[in-house]
């Protein structure tokens, strides 16, 4: 015992001090630059990490928004040893989106999304290769051909919703979720499935809180540690449902000749299967499935909630639908979609206030100048679009109110064009933004031809939670009435 205390312990202590000194010396440039950026350093070694370990999904937002609000245009924080710069400044965000040195996703956080090799997470040359492959599936000529699928799936959802007529409030997200999954499944995966009664939706919803837990438990990036964790087992159970689904999709498409199906997502995947590894294929199917359905379904549910809370605005939307669209069960052509300008304002305003991708991250691959500060290489850039979209500095004193008219051509002239970015921007802008806008509009036209909507939820009470997309914590509880 004495030998341990007097001989071994001092050696261990000196070794630890030496490791810390070498670690800090190697990072001296990082500390030098980090010190010049305003904000708080948090606790020694862990920074603000301890505050992000509470698995309450509202808490993640609270901590990130609070750090982001500390300083303008940049505010610093530390996720353990990872230096982080948060911003809600439109011009800084625009500069990030357009800088070749801010293209990367921070693997330390995006690994938790479970799709390391998918387009949302990949970096460098692999990113360029994947984006080029899948851009083809989202070009306007392909999207035009998906319009009948969007109509057909929206009409099916209108039928399904009949079971909720004259009943109490229900969660609209389970309907928009299944409908969006079916639209993507049929349109881009060439795979018909009834997602209203499928385990895929549940599996993904089950993964959300687990992915969030993993995101800030950054030590779980050490694979052996992660593999023995409880979180791994829980996530794997849900993930296997998605892998099984992917296998079914690929099997079916291998057996079928896709020649006629143009360049839809699954065709691109099959054509390039010799250039992509198995892992890349799995991750692409999973990330496109998730990104394709979840954000659209959340946005749709939020729009319906907003209109349930703002009856005067709902009336203007239904008037517009009645004016330009005849039959309840008819199909909307892509050429008619521009006839709904007021609905477009409603969609934009909803996405401003409740931005599904309201917190996203990039990582600097070089030192980069942002708003007069030199940001070190390897810094996580937290882009707080949610904060930017609600900041009175850019949107006026009524920034937190729901007013679609702020997007009309006259009013929008007075707003900084960089202050609105619900689909991110630059080269990594959402690949599915045109797809989403088309699908959302078609769904809403069918919805308001058939139903009115109401809710007991109050606009002022709504809070957001990070899942990692931003969801409304109170849920999407609405009641529907058949329009006469």
List interacting residues with ligand HEM (CB under 6 A).
119-120, 131, 184, 287-288, 291-292, 295-296, 299, 356-357, 360, 422-424, 428, 430-432, 435-436
How near is the Cβ of 2 to ligand HEM at its closest, in Å?
56
For ligand HEM, the closer of residues 185 and 357 by Cβ is 357
For ligand HEM, the closer of residues 34 and 215 by Cβ is 215
- Number of residues in the chain: 484
For ligand HEM, the closer of residues 34 and 113 by Cβ is 113
Q: In the structure encoding, which two tokens stand for residue 77, read together? A: 């924080």
How near is the Cβ of 295 to ligand HEM at its closest, in Å?
3
Taking the CA atoms of the chain, what radius of gyration do you get in angstroms?
A: 24
Are the C-beta atoms of 61 and 52 separated by less than 8 Å? no
Nearest to 174 by CA among 297, 291, 289, 296: 297
Residues 141, 145: Cα–Cα separation, whole Å: 7
For ligand HEM, the closer of residues 29 and 139 by Cβ is 139
Residues 142, 149: Cα–Cα separation, whole Å: 12
Residues 443, 448: Cα–Cα separation, whole Å: 9
How near is the Cβ of 475 to ligand HEM at its closest, in Å?
18
How near is the Cβ of 94 to ligand HEM at its closest, in Å?
14
β-bridge partners, 382: 86, 361
The three-class DSSP label of residue 115 is coil
Are the C-beta atoms of 172 and 301 separated by less than 8 Å? yes
For ligand HEM, the closer of residues 317 and 359 by Cβ is 359
How near is the Cβ of 383 to ligand HEM at its closest, in Å?
8
For ligand HEM, the closer of residues 161 and 300 by Cβ is 300
Residues 57, 262: Cα–Cα separation, whole Å: 41
Flag whether 384 is marked binding: no
Helix, strand, coil share (%) of the chain residues, nearest 5:
65, 10, 25
How near is the Cβ of 396 to ligand HEM at its closest, in Å?
23
For ligand HEM, the closer of residues 332 and 384 by Cβ is 384
How near is the Cβ of 235 to ligand HEM at its closest, in Å?
19
Are the C-beta atoms of 429 and 423 separated by less than 8 Å? yes
Nearest to 66 by CA among 78, 53, 75: 75
β-bridge partners, 481: 452
Angle between helices 230-255 and 278-309 (to 10 degrees): 100
Residue ranges for the binding site for heme? Answer: 430
């Amino acid at each position: 015992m004495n030998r341990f205390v007097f001989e071994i312990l001092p050696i261990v202590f000196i070794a630890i001090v030496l490791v810390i000194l070498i670690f800090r010396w190697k990072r001296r440039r990082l500390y030098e630059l980090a010190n010049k950026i305003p904000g708080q350093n948090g606790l020694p070694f862990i920074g603000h990490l301890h505050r992000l370990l509470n698995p309450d999904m509202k808490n993640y937002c609270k901590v990130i928004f609070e750090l982001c609000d500390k300083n303008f245009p940049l505010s610093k924080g530390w996720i353990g040893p990872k230096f982080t710069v948060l911003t809600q400044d439109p011009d800084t965000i625009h500069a990030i989106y357009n800088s070749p040195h801010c293209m990367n996703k921070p693997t330390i956080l995006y690994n938790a999304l479970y799709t390391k090799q998918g387009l949302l997470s990949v970096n460098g040359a692999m990113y360029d290769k994947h984006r080029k492959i899948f851009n083809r599936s989202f070009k306007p000529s392909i999207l035009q051909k998906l319009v009948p699928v969007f109509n057909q799936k929206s009409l099916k959802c209108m039928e399904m919703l009949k079971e909720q007529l004259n009943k109490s409030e229900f969660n609209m997200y389970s309907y928009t979720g299944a409908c969006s999954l079916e639209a993507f499944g049929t349109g881009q995966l060439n795979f018909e499935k009834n997602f209203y009664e499928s385990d895929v939706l549940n599996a993904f919803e089950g993964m959300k809180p687990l992915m969030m837990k993993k995101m800030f438990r950054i030590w779980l990036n050490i694979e052996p540690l992660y593999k023995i964790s409880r979180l791994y087992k829980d996530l794997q159970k849900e993930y296997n449902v998605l892998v099984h689904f992917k296998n079914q999709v690929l099997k079916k498409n291998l057996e079928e000749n896709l020649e006629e199906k143009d360049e839809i997502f699954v065709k691109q995947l099959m054509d390039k299967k010799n250039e992509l590894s198995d892992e890349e294929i799995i991750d692409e199917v999973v990330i496109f499935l998730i990104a394709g359905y979840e954000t659209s379904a959340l946005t749709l549910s939020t729009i319906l909630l907003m209109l349930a809370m703002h009856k005067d605005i709902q009336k203007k939307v239904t008037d517009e639908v009645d004016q330009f669209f005849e039959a309840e069960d008819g199909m909307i052509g892509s050429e008619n979609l521009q006839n709904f300008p007021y609905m477009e304002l409603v969609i934009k305003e909803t996405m401003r206030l409740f931005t599904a991708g309201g917190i996203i991250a990039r990582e600097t691959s070089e030192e980069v100048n942002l708003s007069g500060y030199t940001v070190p290489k390897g810094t996580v850039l937290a882009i707080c679009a949610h904060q930017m979209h609600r900041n009175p500095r850019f949107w006026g004193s009524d920034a937190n109110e729901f007013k679609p008219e702020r997007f009309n051509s006259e009013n929008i002239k007075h707003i900084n064009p960089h202050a609105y970015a619900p689909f991110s921007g630059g080269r990594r802008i959402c690949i599915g933004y045109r797809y989403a806008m088309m699908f959302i509009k078609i769904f809403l036209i069918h919805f308001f031809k058939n139903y009115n909507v109401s809710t007991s939820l109050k606009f002022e009470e709504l809070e957001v939670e990070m899942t990692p997309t931003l969801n409304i914590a109170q849920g999407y509880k609405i009641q529907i009435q058949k329009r006469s």
